[in-house]
Structure 1
Amino acid sequence: MTRSAWDSAPRAEPPQPRRSPWYRGAVSGDDEGSASAPGVSNVAGISGFPSVLGAPGSPRAWGLFEIGFRPWLRRQLAGIHLAGVDDAAAAIQANPSAAGAPVVFVANHTSWYDGFLLREVHRRLRPASPLRSIMLHAELSRSRTLRWIGGTSLDPDRPATLRGALRELDALRDQGVVISFFPQGRIFPATRRPLGFRPGVRLVLRRLAPVTVLPVAIHLEMGNLPRPTAWILAGTPEWIPGHRAGEGMTAVGAEALDERVGDLLDRIQGLLCAHGEGTGAHWPPS
């Protein structure tokens, strides 16, 4: 089952390049970003995130943020096509152990939009749970807003920050927290093979277990409009029991996840090669 995330086609406007807030670009104090992406720059007056704004990454926080941001995003993309999410949700619910446990989206990183595209997956999979994103401390420190919508700080040069981030995420376990993670660590074309997932993803999953890992492929493609279309395909979720279940500290590795996400991307790109601008009528890939 699939559908576009947009209710109607947005107006045609020239796309504007953006730097990624998830790993690279300044999203506050940046004239271009703060003027054009409502809500991504610092939220004026936020100090300690008053309760009226919701807890960081909570459904309330995302809902308030998207009042301004979602209409803007609709003007930047020709559309968003999702597939595989409903099947993944059914598989997670069918496992009594996984039904209320955290879910980690492991995705390739191909554009500025990726973190917000995974929000679309979250909206379909588990909208009542918090959505948190593991982000580099250097980028997260630039914007209160990214912290407000769930950014969780990690500094690769300071191992203690990983332990702190994982403790922070583990504290949300009972809320069925959903976590976004881009193991490439930086933006690469979606055609890259292997994708280059870093080995740290295994450690993250091992420390968060028991947890469900969901591979997600993201591809943006230009078509017959002057804005890209986003194609997102979720794979088969995998339950990692971990030590809390008394079943040993197991976790899939970076190489296996790299291959799974790469296979999902191959399916998207194969469909695009076969049908071009008519891909929407043939979506999702088999």
Structure 2
Amino acid sequence: MTGPAGDPVALRSPAMVRFFDGVMQRQMRRAFRAVRVAEPGLPALPDDRPVVFFSNHPSWWDPAFYIVLSAALLPGRCSFGPMEARALERYRFMRRIGIFGIEPGTTSGAARLLRVGGHILSDPAHVLWLTAQGHFADPRTPVELQRGLSRLLSRAPQALAVPVALEYPFWSEKRPEALAAFGDAIPAAEATHERLEQALQDTANALAARAKARSPAAFDTILGGRVGVGGIYGGWSRLRARIRGRSYRPEHLPESGE
């Protein structure tokens, strides 16, 4: 079957994907204390069905988070995702890692998402990541999804839809946490706009409760980052530990969550 113009399946390079996985992992290690996934983690996904992961959109870090999650949790799958066409023209190399361009908020953009998304989801080894809100929004505001997601799923009856909530809260360190939570998989045949929206809202609410509790024990840490506050406070803490004859621990928040 001939793919659409600018077919991301044909353009995707496994070598480029591996390279970019490493780049994004290093970026998130530097920027965050840790990258964590709320327990029980990723729902069981059969190998014979493609998957659409749809999330809220709290930050420009979201696509990088997708890449890290995909590399850590879905090593046997090929991941794809849309990007504003104008921005993709500036970063053309991203076509080689499964990114395809669309024009957000336009009829042609919606049509291309349906066309390219349907093509991607024709293969059970593929997954599609979507910031289904379509615009940046605080993670604690009510979820409002664009209707293109349910339309896409109506054209891909073999697919499953999985809600993904994302947050980047500060706990007790200089750097924030990168937190994700997955909801239950929804068969495409049952994926009405209302059900998808409610599923993501429920997942976001559950993640918010855990984020507020600030307990690493409620999460699986898939990528450790830098710890400690640094600067004057960090220097003073290091000196105080030395004066007291204790080993210096830069982290404020132990992994036990105590």
Q: Same fold (TM over 0.5)?
A: yes
1:283 aligns with 2:222: no
How well do the aligned residues superpose, as a CA RMSD in angstroms?
A: 2.6
What pairs with 1:177-188 in structure 2 (closer than 5 Å)?
Answer: 177-188=126-137
Shift of 1:59: 3.9
> What is the match of residue 155 of structure 1?
103
Question: What code does the residue aligned with 1:265 have?
Answer: A
Question: What code does the residue aligned with 2:140 have?
Answer: T
Q: State how far apart, in whole Å, the 1-side matches of 2:126 and 2:35 are.
A: 24
Question: What code does the residue aligned with 2:157 have?
Answer: A
> Which among 5, 12, 16 is matched to residue 61 of structure 1?
16
Question: What code does the residue aligned with 2:125 have?
Answer: G
> What is the match of residue 172 of structure 2?
224
CA contact (8 A) 2:164 2:181 kept: yes
1:264 aligns with 2:212: no
1:82 aligns with 2:82: no
Structure 1-normalised TM-score? 0.65
Question: What code does the residue aligned with 2:129 have?
Answer: S
Shift of 1:232: 0.5
Structure 2-normalised TM-score? 0.72
Q: State how far apart, in whole Å, the 2-side matches of 1:270 and 1:123 are.
A: 26
Q: Which runs of 5+ in 2 are unaligned?
A: 1-5, 221-258
Q: State how far apart, in whole Å, the 2-side matches of 1:187 and 1:112 are.
A: 8
Specify the structure having the higher radius of gyration (Cα): 2
Shift of 1:78: 1.1
CA contact (8 A) 1:111 1:187 kept: yes
Question: What code does the residue aligned with 2:68 have?
Answer: E
Q: Secondary structure in 2 aligned to 1:174?
A: coil
Q: State how far apart, in whole Å, the 2-side matches of 1:146 and 1:66 are.
A: 12
Deviations 1:214-248 (A, max 9, x none): 111111101222221011111111122xxxxxxxx
The structure-2 alpha-carbon separation of the partners of 1:70 and 1:78, relative to structure 1 and needing over 3 Å to count, comes to same
Shift of 1:157: 5.5
Question: What code does the residue aligned with 2:132 have?
Answer: P
The structure-2 alpha-carbon separation of the partners of 1:135 and 1:68, relative to structure 1 and needing over 3 Å to count, comes to closer
Shift of 1:87: 4.8
> What is the match of residue 21 of structure 1?
none
Q: When the two structures are aligned, how many residues end up with a matched partner?
A: 212
Question: What code does the residue aligned with 1:281 have?
Answer: A
> What is the match of residue 145 of structure 1?
93
The structure-2 alpha-carbon separation of the partners of 1:225 and 1:63, relative to structure 1 and needing over 3 Å to count, comes to same
Question: What code does the residue aligned with 2:89 have?
Answer: S
Shift of 1:263: 1.3
CA contact (8 A) 1:152 1:165 kept: no
